[in-house]
Amino acid sequence: MDRNIRLLIAYDGTDFHGWQRQTDLRTVQGLIEQAARRVARHQVVLIGAGRTDAGVHAAGQVANFLTTCKIPTYNLLRAIGSRLPKDVTLIHTDEVPLNFHSTRAAVRKLYRYTIHNRFGRPVAFLRQRYSYHFWHPLAVERMRDAARAFVGIQDFAAMASRGETRETTVRTVYACNVYRHYDEIRIDVEGRGFLYNQVRNMVGTLIEIGRGHWAVDCIPDILATKDRRNAGPTAPARGLSLQWVQYELDRLPPADAWWPRRQTTAPENAEPDADAVADS
């Protein structure tokens, strides 16, 4: 009988070619699938909550796979985790209902973007891999006020980079908070799902506002144009991290809503979260 195993994963994305499996390239999905396959002794297809790109990190990535393996979940944590490299780790494993799908069942996700905002480089704090060094002074208050305009159900076409293929560019942002933590400015964006590079383009726009180049109230006008050329530049991948993904296990639809028939080699996530699929 099939079991559905959920993994909570953290990784440093610097030396990965992103999450998604790619032939002859080092990816997070590929390495975990390889480790899980050696433990389960059958083909494993890992479904991830967010398809992060090269250089993007995760503190709380969620993934799942179907298996006929009878090994207890705690032993799976140890067996799979011990076969992973030093820049990726399993935090937790558990067994979830067969109708759980890491991508489609997600109800909220939080991405954090970190800007090191001082003249000295972040290497002095060993943060160069996890933050974007922007040494020009940024006015956090301006950025915080402007960020409120991102909250709500809106068309984010102006924040979607080239390559977006979704049928609709309407997305819901539940919160967009900007705050300073010592020399870092952190931008937390919470939503159900995101467009291609949406968060990084939102950050690039807020940086232009924070440095005084654009007005605080310009975001509604930018969104109204639905034109990517009117928004700010795409912020570098290294500052972005998937912090957590939230689910409501008591409100899952039937398994057939995700895939017609249960199988140990589950189908690829048909609608990957493209927020962190970057082009840099």
Catalytic residue of the set 2, 12, 24, 53: 53
Torsion of CA 262, 71, 90, 88, to 10 degrees: -90
Asked if 53 is an active-site residue, the reply is yes
The set of catalytic residues is 53
